[in-house]
Each structure stands twice: as C-alpha cells, then as structure tokens.
Structure 1
Amino acid sequence: MRRARRLGALVVSVLAAATALGGSASAETVQSFHTSLDPASVRESVRYLVENYRVTEQEALRRLELQTDGGKLDELLRRDRGAEYGGMWLDQDRGQLVVAMTKPAAAEPYLRAMPSRSAVRTQQVQHSLQQLTAAKERVAAKVGAGPDAVYLPSVSESENRVVLWERDWVARAKAAVATETNTAQRATAEESGMVVSRVLKNPNALATPNVDLGFCHPLYCTNYGPMRGGLRLDMKRDDGTWGGCTSGFNLRSTGGGFPGKGWVLTAGHCMRTKTNNTPTQHNGNDVLQQHGIEKSSYPYDYAALPYVNDAASTKWLEGQTGRNRVLKYCRNGGMDSNGDTPCGAQATSVDEYITGARKLAEIKAGYVVCASGTASSKVNYPDSVDSGAGAGYLVGTRCGRVLSTDVGINTDLCARPGDSGGPLFSQADHAALGILVGNQQSRSGPCQAGELNNYAPIETITTDLSERIASQGSTFAVITTPNG
C-alpha cells in the first residue's frame, strides 16, 4: 500500500512538472483562460453586433469575450496540438467560434476549459495549420514573395488551403513575367492540391483627390500632440493643390541607423507622385516630412514618415505621454446612421490606447474590429478640407467585421476617399491590426450595406520596414506604451 502511494505521488509530481514546463495539456491540466471585458471599453464593438446581428448587449459582450478567449485558444493549440490544429474563425451568424482540427478529439480538453463549450464547434479538416504554413513558406521561397513579386501566398484557414495570389497590376508594370508565371504554376502543382491560384483585386486607393487647401478634421488638434492614429494628414501635390490621408499608428525604430526615432505610419500611395517635398501638415502645421520609408503596392502600401525636425518631434510626440493612442470620434448621425456603421457616443472624442499588435495569422474571420478615418465633405464640414468622400459621409470611427484574410485584411467596414492610412484595431484586446489601403466599390457619400475595404497588415508593414533597412540594423514596431 505504501509503495502504491509513493508511485501515485510520483505520477502526480511528473504531471505537475510537465505542465509547469509548458508540455501538452490533458483534460485534467487545462486551466480556464477566460478574459472578462469591461463593457465600457468595447462600447462601439458591442453596438456593431447589436445593430447588425440583432443580439442583446449581453450576447454581444459574450461574443467579444469569445473573440478574446479564441486568441488564447489559438496560442495554446498552436503550441500543444500543432500537428492537429488547422486554424479558427468566428461565425457571427451563429455566435460560435469554429476550430478546425485534423483530429477534433485532440481539442476537447482545451474546449472544455472555455466558459461555454457549446459556443465552440469543431470542424474536421485534412491539413494542419503547420502543414499549410510550411506549404506557404515553400511556395513563397519559390516565387520570391515580397514587395516586388507578382505572386504572394497566404493561408486560408476557413478553406484549409494555401492561396497563391496573383497581383496582375504588378505583372502589367513589368517588362517580362513569364519566368515568374511558370515558377508559380510549378510551385502550385508541386503541392498536391494543397495550393490554389487566384487573382487578387487591387483596392481602389482612398487618398484624397485634388482639393483646395483646408484644415484637417476630426479634432482640429489645436492643442497638438501627441500625434495619434485617426488624425488628418494633408500633403501638397506638385500642381499646388492639397490632398490628404489619415494617420495610422505611431512607430518607434530601435537600434541600428535610426535608434529611438519616432515615425507616423500612413498609406504609401498618399505620397505617390509628389516631388515638391513640402512638409506634410496637420491642421495647417508642418509636422512630418513629405516622404520617408515608403512603398505603394498592396499589401506593401505604407509610408513611415519622420517628423520634419526635432522641434516638431518634441511637440507632437517626445514631449507628450499617451503616445500609443488612436482617436475614437463618432459622428454617425443624419444620413450616415444606418446599421452598417454603428459607433459610440456621438461627437465625443475618446482615445483608444493600443497595447499590442497582432500578426496576420492571429486575425480571424468574424472578428469584430474598428477603424478611424478623416474622409469628409464640405457640405458637412464647411470649415475643413473636402476629401472627396461625398455629402453625408461623416468623419470618425466605425466598427465592423473581418470577412476574410489573404495577404491583407478584408472587412465590411465603411470607408471613403481620405480615410487611407487610417488605423484598424481591436477593442477586445487593444491591438493594432493594420492600416486602410482602399476598397472594392468606389462608393461616395453615406455608408451602404455590403461595404468591402482592404487593410495592409501591421505585421507585413513592420517586417518589411525592418528588412528594408536591415543594412542599418534598425527594427520598427508600433508604439504600445504611453511613453514608448
């Protein structure tokens, strides 16, 4: 009997040690990883769900908490069940989290640790996420995926396959693409049906068209900094007119040739064709250089702009705290108050504090997300610049849903010319996700049903920024702390 007790104690201690060391969990060792959300912190996201899916505020909050818990579940399954885990997404029509598994039973200990097992359903698939990711990386190496490549691969978790996307506008700009095309065809054929080819739609750029000089909105920022996502940036064109976009996130570069330098992130196409080098303005003030480190071919469509001088850097960033802010400003009244654009308290400026950044693979279909933009019309804002948004479209923050991800993030958020570069973020975990590049409909005026807008992933941007200046050794990241 004594020997049996000693043996039992030994088994318990071994299991405890394995758990402490991060080993695979069993039904007995998986602990609850639920995160409760403050309803006030996700007010706009809750309203989006209430108005679009006709659910109660309590149910909307549950879905947002399920979204947050899904992020932790994704992390655990990647770590412990990588050989069986195939990815996940949120089914907002049913209010469920869908977990793809080659062997669904392998996920059960983790799903039972969720607050409600019935809120999660498993879907059996052929390939694990590890297999899909490995296939994507093999294809990427063969086609030379990068900013200048015609072909870019991505993992489609809901389809359980890799999609090799053809950027036909990049192909048209090249003198010869036969070699790339042949390589892409071979790479697809060599993956035994795991990879399919599709043509990627090029988003319509949402930079402001030619307009007269004006001041930015919202906020007008007469008290200045800190600079934050969701503010108007005005750029002078070579013909003397002014256009504009929206600031995305504050960036910081560390090490190498740009140690400790602050930057503002926006869309790269906002600077395209401009050679006069007039400083980029906010509310009539010279704030940023017209050009920085930039590219303008989706999803590599970004510009990291340095401050125009040390005085501007101090005034708009370094002399301020709260450098990780994104502006929330809701004006969805009048013509723009339909169910596609629910927001929070009207005509009130509130800051969302960004505390992290998500990789593209961590952003799932069905996730509720929000974006801020500064597109406007003189009909609605006679004292500000007309961005070409059309009468009835109001500046500010809107919330919506991730429809899918490919090489970018596709959402049902509403946006118009002038919103380009604006921040896409999650209220559920206060994470930076991407910046607006463009849309598919060329719409004007108030938001309508069936909006589709495309965002360049933060991961793609910061990775490319760091690699582009690798010879100088600097690394770029979104500022995620008040004094970062």
Structure 2
Amino acid sequence: MRRTTAIRTGLSVILLLGTWATAGLVPATAAVPEPTATPQASTGLLTAMQKDLGLTQSQAKATLKAEKTATALEGDARRAAGASYGGSWFDADSGRLTVAVNSAERADDVRATGAAVRLVTHSAKELDAVKKRIDSLSAPAGVSSWHVDPKAGRVVLNIVASAQDDNGVQKFVERARKAGPVKVEKTSQAPTTFAAGTVGGDPYYTGNVRCSIGFSVHGGFVTAGHCGSAGASVRGWDNSAIGNFQGSSFPGNDYAWVSVGSGWWTVPVVLGWGAVPDQLVRGSAEAPIGASVCRSGSTTHWHCGRVLAKNETVNYSQGAVHQMTKTSVCAQGGDSGGSFISGDQAQGVTSGGWGNCSSGGETWHQPINEILGRYGLRLHTA
C-alpha cells in the first residue's frame, strides 16, 4: 500500500514538473524558496490536524492560513524591532504572530507590520548569550535540554523529574543561574535518538540500523547524523544500494546527507502513509514557535503537533546537540532522520525525543535550512 502510494505520487510529479532530478547531480548553493501565496491543504492533512491537535476542519484551515501569514510576517517584524527584538511566536488562540521587544519605543514600529507586541526585560541577543554560556557547561544525564523561551524571557532548563534532587543536577542548575535569567521545568523522561534504520519518511538501512529519509535534495537526501558516519553505505526499503553518507555530524549537530545513485532518483515528496496523501515540498520557510507541524517516519508514519521551542540544546547520552527545534509530535525508534513539514514547507529532520506514539511525548528536529547551508545543498521542490 505504501509503495504503491509513493509510485503514484511520483507519476503525478512527472506530469506536473515535466522532469525529475537524476542521480549524480552536483549539489548547488543552499536556497530558501519563498512560500506559496495560498496554503495548500489536502483533506487528509486537515484530518490529521483535527486528530492530533484537537481542531475542527474549519479551525485547521484557519490555522494553516494564519500560520502562513505569521511566517511571512516574521522577518519584517524582526527588522522593525531592531536591537530590541526579544523573540517571536505564533499565538494559536489569537491566530497572530507575537513579537517580544525590550523597548517601548520600538513597539509601534512592530505593530505597524501587523504583529502583536509584548514588552519584555531582555533582548533575544542577551538571552542567546546566556544560553551560550550554559552551552559551555558539562551537563549531567538528569538535565534533558535547554533553550531560550521568548514568552518567559528566560532560558528554560528541562530537568528529568526523577533526577531533580541529584547533586550533579543541582550543581548544574546553580551554575546555570549564574549565567543569567533561568527558569527550571520538569520533564518525565530523558531524550533518546530514534534510530532503529528517496521519499521523505521512507526507511533506509545502514549496517544494522534503520532510519528514515528526511528530504530530497539535488543529488541525494538529508537525514539525521546519528544514523551513519561519512562513507557508510546505504540501502533502500527494498534492500538495494542507494549511495553513501557524504557528510555526517553527531553529536554537536545531528544532520547528514546521502548521495543517490544506482538507479535511484530524488522527488520533492513526503510520504503520507495512507493517513494523508503524499505531500509535495514547495520550500523551506521556517514556521514560528506555536505553529502546527507534522512528521513522517518509517515506524510511526504520520503525526502532527506544534513547535514548542527553537535553538534548544538537547543533552543526549552521546553528547549535547545544539540549535534543535522542539515539538509536541511523537516519534519512536526508526523514525530518526524523517521529515518534519509545516503545510508544504520543509522544517527539519527527526533527531530524537522521549515518549512514544501511544502515550505521547516530545520530539526534536534539526532545522533543514542549517543542513542545506552546511553542505551547500539545494532542496528539491515542486
């Protein structure tokens, strides 16, 4: 069923685009295409948003439209805020982008762009500096992650509840508080990567590991770095050779890219696994905090949630990974490397998280535009 769906989608892409990318293309400079003017949402996507986010169909449609407006507005609002910019997020209740500023003098300039304004004490630059100082500390296993929270105006430390009284955790929190404004929150579990093992969400294999394809780029696909080292060979869902890892980084980062050859080709598609129609990828405009986002992976297939935080440092047992985006989407082993997409815009590749898709949990992804820029890749778009 899944493979038939993917092939049918591929045929429709041929008809729409006229050409496909072929194996062996040389990667070009990273590019961030502009989002399409009108949100494109299939019935299946709206159904998934209703199920996972608790929305009605009309609310799901309105959410997608408002999120696209907020995404397009974010750059102008940030420029209007200037040095007083304290971060931004999408407010699902109001359907508007909210921008934090630490200067009342810039508030009217930001409002003029159409964004709502919240006055805060610290600028984003100040909070980023606090996070950078915390990044330099060695974190014990009981510290899950940390990120700048523009709503709270602080750096939030996520501590595993069962380890909150450990001496190492308490010392880390004490040192972190000396770095600047910090807020401590509890989480139920420590994060783990989702490796178990070129269409987004499809499985691939390297050694005894199964992971998931993230997004097609010209010449290959991007995925998670913990799934394989540079030079490692990759097999597809049918166990035939695809190519090799051309670049890989983990920990510190969690991204990689794989070349495509041996009769394989790339398409700008993310698998819907029958839950939704396979999704065309039209760009990589980054959705704001609070926006809806969906994930495709080879184990748990298609699930949706919201963006919870950006630029979060995640403390895996293998080492810390920086500049991650946290979401409320669930995932499980084998989903690593899979696609995170908001509407028709690529967001990132699945790294890890905690929980599962039966009881719920949280998952992090490595932002796609960072990966494209790091390796000089160009996203394959429809």
Q: TM-score, with normalisation over the residues of structure 2?
A: 0.68
Describe the shift of the 1:270–1:195 C-alpha distance in structure 2 as closer, same or farther (beyond 3 A). Answer: same
Please give the per-residue CA displacement for 1:284-324, whole angstroms capped at 9, x wherever unaligned.
Answer: 211122x4422332x622332234xxx52xx323xxxxx46
Q: What secondary structure is seen at the aligned counterpart in 1 of 2:337?
A: coil
Q: 1:108 to 1:76 in 2, by over 3 A?
A: same
Give % identity.
Answer: 26
Does the C-alpha gap of structure 1 residues 49 and 280 become closer, same or farther in structure 2, counting only changes over 3 Å? closer
SS in 2 for 1:81: helix
Distance 1:416 1:52, change over 3 A: closer
Distance 1:462 1:94 in 2: 33
Structure 1 stretches lacking a partner, 5+ long? 1-33, 115-119, 167-177, 210-226, 238-242, 253-261, 318-322, 333-343, 376-392, 467-474
**Which runs of structure 2 are paired with 1:308-323 in the superposition (5 Å)?**
312=262, 315-317=263-265, 323=266
Q: Match of 2:362?
A: 452
Shift of 1:110: 4.8
- Is 1:324–1:355's contact at 8 Å kept on the other side of the alignment? no
Is residue 399 from structure 1 mapped to residue 304 from structure 2 by the alignment? yes
Q: 1:184 to 1:231 in 2, by over 3 A?
A: same
Contact 1:412 1:451 in 2 (8 A): yes
Flag the 1:456–1:203 CA change in 2: closer, same or farther, 3 A.
farther
Match status 1:81 vs 2:48: no
Distance 2:228 2:240 in 1: 18
Equivalent residue for 2:237? 282
Residue in 2 that maps onto 1:208? 196
Q: Kindly tell me: are residues 79 and 280 of structure 1, through their superposed partners in 2, closer, same or farther at Cα, counting changes over 3 Å? A: same
Question: Structure 1 residues 82 and 480, CA, compared in 2 at 3 Å: closer, same or farther?
Answer: farther
Query: Is the Cα–Cα contact under 8 Å of residues 102 and 127 in structure 1 kept in the other structure?
Result: yes
- SS of equivalent residue, structure 1 residue 435: strand
Structure 1 residues 42 and 73: alpha-carbon distance in aligned structure 2, compared to 1, 3 A threshold = farther
Separation in 1, partners of 2:272, 2:339: 13
Distance 1:422 1:478, change over 3 A: farther
The 3-state SS of whatever aligns with 1:452 is: strand
Structure 1 residues 278 and 83: CA distance shift in structure 2, 3 A: closer
Larger displacement relative to structure 2 (121-130 or 151-160): 151-160
C-alpha spacing 1:155/1:113, structure 2 compared with 1 (3 Å): closer
Determine helix, strand or coil for the equivalent of 2:100. Answer: strand
Partners of 1:158 and 1:56 in 2: how far apart?
27
Please give the alpha-carbon distance, in whole angstroms, between the structure 2 residues aligned to 1:71 and 1:398: 21
Q: Distance in 2 between matches of 1:324 and 1:188?
A: 47
Higher strand share: 2
Q: Contact 1:326–1:354 (CA<8 Å) still a contact in 2? A: no
* 1:118-197 alignment runs, 5 A limit: 121-133=116-128, 135-136=130-131, 139=133, 143=136, 154-162=147-155, 189=178, 193-194=180-181
CA deviations over 1:58-103 (Å, ceiling 9, x no partner):
3332222222222233211221222333222223355454332224
Question: Whole-Å Cα distance in 2 between the matches of residues 205 and 455 of structure 1?
Answer: 11
Name the SS for the 1:46 alignment partner.
helix
Alpha-carbon offset, residue 231 of structure 1: 1.7
Instruction: Give the whole-Å Cα distance in 2 for the aligned partners of 1:37 and 1:136.
Output: 37
Deviations 1:386-436 (A, max 9, x none): xxxxxxx5x3x3222112232322222232222111011221xx3322111
Question: 2 CA distance for matches of 1:249 and 1:92?
Answer: 27
**2:102 aligned partner:** 102
Q: Which amino acid aligns with 2:281?
A: Y
Shift of 1:449: 5.2
Q: Give the letter aligned to residue 403 of structure 1.
A: L
* 1:302 aligned partner: 255
AA of the residue aligned to 2:348:
G
The corresponding residue for 2:221 is 264
Tell me if 1:325 matches 2:279.
Answer: no
Q: Residue 368 of structure 1 is aligned with which of 292, 314, 319?
A: 292
Question: Considering only CA atoms, is the larger Rg found in Structure 1 or Structure 2?
Answer: 1
Give the Cα–Cα distance (whole angstroms) in 1 for the partners of residues 172 and 333 of structure 2: 37
Q: 1:154–1:163: 8 Å Cα contact kept in structure 2?
A: yes
SS in 2 for 1:329: coil
Closer/same/farther in 2, CA of residues 153 and 46 from structure 1, 3 Å limit = same
Letter paired with 1:81: A
Change (3 A) 1:62 1:372: same
Residues 302 and 81 (structure 1), Cα distance of their counterparts in 2 relative to 1, 3 Å cut: closer
Q: 1:185 to 1:82 in 2, by over 3 A?
A: farther
User: How many angstroms does 1:164 deviate by?
Assistant: 7.5
* 8 A contact 2:71–2:285 mirrored in 1: no
Deviation of 1:126 after TM superposition, in Å, equals: 0.6
Alpha carbons of 1:60 and 1:282: their partners in 2 closer, same or farther (altered >3 Å)?
Answer: closer
Work out the CA distance in 2 between the residues paired with 1:325 and 1:35: 15
Q: How far apart, in 2, do the equivalents of 1:357 and 1:113 lie?
A: 19
Q: What are the ranges of 5 or more consecutive residues in structure 2 without an aligned counterpart?
A: 1-34, 160-167, 314-323
DSSP 3-state at the match of 2:82? coil
- In structure 2, relative to structure 1, the CA distance for the partners of 1:59 and 1:436 (3 Å cut) is same
Deviates more, 1:363-372 or 1:197-206: 197-206
Structure 1 residues 96, 75: closer, same or farther in 2, change over 3 A?
Answer: closer
RMSD of aligned C-alpha atoms? Answer: 4.1
Q: Distance in 1 between matches of 2:108 and 2:335?
A: 43
Alpha-carbon shift at residue 125 of structure 1 (Å): 0.9
Q: 2: distance between equivalents of 1:422 and 1:303?
A: 12
Does the 8 Å contact 2:214/2:349 carry over to 1?
yes
Higher RCO, 1 vs 2 (CA within 8 Å, ≥6 residues apart): 2
Relative to structure 1, the CA distance from residue 205 to residue 133 in structure 2 (aligned partners, 3 Å threshold; closer, same or farther) is closer
On the 8 A contact 1:246/1:373 being kept in 2, the answer is yes
Q: Flag the 1:202–1:448 CA change in 2: closer, same or farther, 3 A.
A: closer
Counterpart CA distance in 1 for 2:177 and 2:369 is 25
